[in-house]
Structure 1
Amino acid sequence: MKPIIGQHHVSMFTKDASTNVAFYTKVMGLRFVKKTVNQDNVSMYHLFYGDKVGSPGTGVTFFELPNAGHARKGTDSISSISLTVPSDEALDFWKARLEGNQAVVSRIIREDGRASLTFGDPDDLTVHLVSVQGAKPYPPSVAWVPVDIPAQYAILGLGPAVLTVRESAKTIDVLERILGYKKTRSAKALGDGTHEVSIFETGMGGLSTEIHVKESALEDKARPGRGSIHHVAVRIGNKEELEGWASRIAAEGFKNTGIIDRHFFTSFYFWDPNGIVFELATDDGPGYEVDDATDVLLEPLSLPPFLEERRSEIESKLHPIIEL
C-alpha cells in the first residue's frame, strides 16, 4: 500500500455556527467552502473551511452543538491543532491581529528549530500557528486572501496535530506498526516549552504530515464539549488504497465504522486503544466543488445526493446562520 500522504482535515465542535463562521473567515481569513450537515446526525450543521478550493490538507471543520458545555482538556484526546504560515514574520502579524480581536494569544516561542504562537478560538479550542520558514517545502495550496490580510501572511494549511494520551506506547504502536508513520525526533510541545513530545511523520515528511504524541499520566481524562477535537483525518490517494488500509486495520481488531461514502470524499474511521479517533479520507472524489463567485453562507444548504430527498425535513430543523 502507498504511504499515508499527510493531514486531510481536522474536525471539532463549536457552540455557535454564526460566531464560528465570523471568526474563521473574518479573523483567520479561511475560505468558507461548504455549509452542510453532519451525515450521522442531520440536525447538526457541519461547516468546512480551507483554501480557495478546499484542497485536502487545508480542511478545518466544525460540528455545531448549541447546547454544548465547555470541553475539559486532558488525556486520551486530540488536544490541539496547527495551522501553518509562510514565515516567522507572519507570526508577528497574526499575534497583533488576534490580540486586536480579543483572542488570548501566547508569546511567540521557538522550539525544535521553528517559531510558533498559540491562541484560543471563541470556543477555547487550542490552535497553534507554526511558521514553515526553514522547513521542508510545504504542499501547494490555492491561496484565499481576504482584502485585509497580506498575501505573504496568509494561512497555508494544516500543520501538526497533537495527541495527549495516558499510555503513549499504545498510540505509538498504531502510528508506527499500523499506519506506517516514522518517529523522526523528540521536542518540546508546541506552545508549551516544558513537556516533551514524540514527533512522527509520514509520506514526504514535513509539517503537514506530523503527528505529535505527548504522554501525560497526571491529567484527568478529557471530556468532549465546545472547543474539543473529534478526529484527525489523514490523506489516502483513492478509494482502492482506502480499501486496503481498511482491511488491514479491521483485521487488527480495532473498533471501526467500515468504509463510508461522504460524497465529497470516501472515509474510514477507527478508534485506537486510547480512544483517539482517526479518519482515513481519500483525495479523489468530487471534493467540495467550490465556485470562485460562491458565497457559501448565502447559498442553499449543500447536501449529498443521498440526503437530497430529505432536504425539507433537514432544513426545517436548522436555524439560520447569520453574518456577524
Structure 2
Amino acid sequence: MTNENLLGIHHVTAMTDDAVRNYEFFTNVLGMRLVKKTVNQDDIHTYHTFFADDVGSPGTDMTFFDFPNNPKGSPGSNSIYRTAFRVPDDAALEYYRNRFDEFEVKHDGIQDLFDKKVLPFEEADGQKYQLVSDENNTGVAPGKPWKNGPVPEDKAIYGLGPIEIHVSYYDDFKQVLMDVYGMKPVAEEAYVTLLDVGEGGNGGQVILRKDESASARQGYGEVHHVSFRVADHDVIKKWEEKYNERGMRHSGNVDRFYFEALYTRIGHILIELSTDGPGFMDDEPYETLGESLALPPFLEERREYIEAQVRPFDTTRSK
C-alpha cells in the first residue's frame, strides 16, 4: 500500500509588488539561490520566482507571485503569518543579525522559541520571516547551501523552517491538522502548539497560534499558500481519493511540470500538497539555474507573447 504520510514542508508562496527588489533581497542579502524564473501558470502575465538551496531541493524553496498592481495586504489572524528559514547553528544567527544591520533590514534580534534560537525579520514590503537555528535539531534533513552565493556556506540558509499559522478557530484547525494530515503536537503553551510533519524538526513543523484579532487581508507582503511534501504521483492521487472520501473540496491533481500539486482550503488557509519531483533542473543546467525565463512545455508555444507581457529583469550571475 502506498505510504500517504507527508514528508515535511515543500514550499511557501507569497506575493510581492516588485520582483526585482525581491530578487535582490533574497539573493544578495539572504543568500538564497534563484532556481527558477517563470510565470504564474494561472496568470501568465505575471512572474513566479523560486528561491531555494543550491540545487532547488524540495523543502527549501520560497516562491513569489509578482502582482505589481495588487494592493498591499495587512497581517492578522486567519492567515499564514510567518515563514521561517533554517540556518546551521546559533553562530549563523549572529552572522545574519550583523548582516541585517549592515543592510538595514528590520529585525527583532535573536529570541527563544520552543527551546530554539530564532531571528525574526521583515522584507521592505512587510512580509514576515524568521531565521531558525538548527543547532541540536533533528528530523527532516536540510538542503545544500548555495555554493556561489554571497553568504559563507557554513552560515547560509539551506531550507524552510516552521510555518506559523494564526487562526481564530484554533481548536478546530488543530484537529484538522492532526486528523487529516497526521501532524503530531510536540510542544504546547497557552494557545500555541508546535506540530511535527513527517520526520519533524525544523524542516517539518507548523506553529499554530490562536489569534482573535482582525483577519489578515490578502495582498502583496502576505503569504498566498503553504505546500507540504509527498513522495510522488501515486501518493498525491491517494490524497485526492482521501479528500473525496472526506467530502473535502479540492483542485484535483495539477501538473506544474516541476512538481504535481493538489490544493484545498481549510477555513481561510490554502494548503497545497506537492510531489518531490521532477524538480527544477529538468529544463535548465545547474550552472545557469534561474538566469532565463523558463516555461513548461505547455506554455512554450506562447513564449513570444509571454515575454512581451512580463517586464524583463536580468538575473544572470554566471558571466
Partner of 1:8: 10
- The CA deviation string for residues 247-278 of structure 1, in whole angstroms up to 9 with x for no partner, is 11233222311110000000000000x21011
| Separation of aligned partners in 2, 1:47 and 1:82 | 18
For residue 287 of structure 2, what is the aligned residue in structure 1? 293
Q: Following superposition of structure 1 onto structure 2, how do residues 166-177 of structure 1 map, counting pairs within 5 Å?
A: 166-177=168-179
2:24 aligned partner: 22
Q: Aligned pair in 2 of structure 1 residues 59, 295: CA closer, same or farther (>3 Å)?
A: closer
Cα drift, residue 313 of structure 1: 1.5
Whether the aligned pair in 1 keeps the contact of 2:28 and 2:150 (CA below 8 Å) is no
Instruction: Choose from 236, 244, 248 the match for 1:242.
Output: 236
- Contact (CA 8 Å) 1:48, 1:60: kept in 2 or not? yes
Determine what percentage of the aligned residue pairs are the same residue: 33
1:271 aligns with 2:265: yes
User: Distance between the aligned counterparts of 1:213 and 1:88, measured in 2?
Assistant: 24
Q: Specify the code of the residue in structure 2 equivalent to 1:226.
A: Y
Letter in 2 for 1:145: K
Q: Displacement of 1:183 after TM fit?
A: 1.0
- The amino acid that maps onto 2:294 is S
Cross-structure match for 2:225? 231
Ranges in structure 1 where 5+ consecutive residues have no aligned partner: 188-194
- Aligned length, in residue pairs: 313
Is the 1:22–1:323 Cα contact (8 Å) retained in structure 2?
A: no
Q: 2:128 is matched with which residue?
A: 126
What are the equivalent positions in structure 2 for 1:243-258 lying under 5 Å apart?
Answer: 243-258=237-252
Q: Distance in 2 between matches of 1:286 and 1:92?
A: 32
5+ residue gaps, structure 2, are none
Amino acid in structure 2 at the alignment position of 1:321: F
- Residue 91 of structure 1 and its aligned partner are, at CA, apart by 0.7
Indicate conservation of the 8 Å contact 1:132/1:138, yes or no.
Answer: no
- Alignment equivalent of 1:41, drawn from 40, 43, 67: 43
Worse overlay, 313-322 or 133-142: 133-142
Q: Which runs of 4+ in 1 moved over 4 A?
A: none
Q: Which residue of 2 aligns with 1:69?
A: 71
Give the counterpart of 1:280 among 266, 269, 273. 273
Deviation at 1:137, TM superposition (A): 4.9
- 2:276, 2:52 → 1: CA distance? 14
- Measured after TM superposition, the shift of residue 68 of structure 1 is 2.2
Structure 2 counterpart of 1:303, from 273, 278, 295: 295
Residue in 1 that maps onto 2:210: 215
Cα separation, 1, equivalents of 2:269 and 2:67: 20
**CA offsets per residue over residues 125-181 of structure 1, 9 Å max, x none?**
100100010111551422213454222111120010011001012221221111111
Check the 8 A contact 1:29/1:146 in 2, yes or no: no
- Aligned in 2, Cα 1:280/1:147: closer, same or farther, shift over 3 Å? closer
- Sort the Cα spacing of 1:162 and 1:40 in 2 relative to 1 into closer, same or farther, 3 A: same
TM-score by length of 1: 0.92
Q: What are the equivalent positions in structure 2 for 1:138-177 lying under 5 Å apart?
A: 138-146=140-148, 148-177=150-179
CA distance in 1 between counterparts of 2:37 and 2:112 reads 37
1:116 alignment partner in structure 2: 118
Q: Determine the C-alpha separation between the residues in 2 that align with 1:310 and 1:152.
A: 42
Match of 1:5, SS? coil
Length-normalised TM-score, structure 2:
0.94
Mapping for residues 83-94 of structure 1, pairs under 5 Å: 83-94=85-96
SS in 2 for 1:223: coil
**Aligned counterparts of 1:237 and 1:210: Cα–Cα separation in 2:** 18
Partner SS for 2:195? strand
The alignment partner of 1:45 has SS state of strand
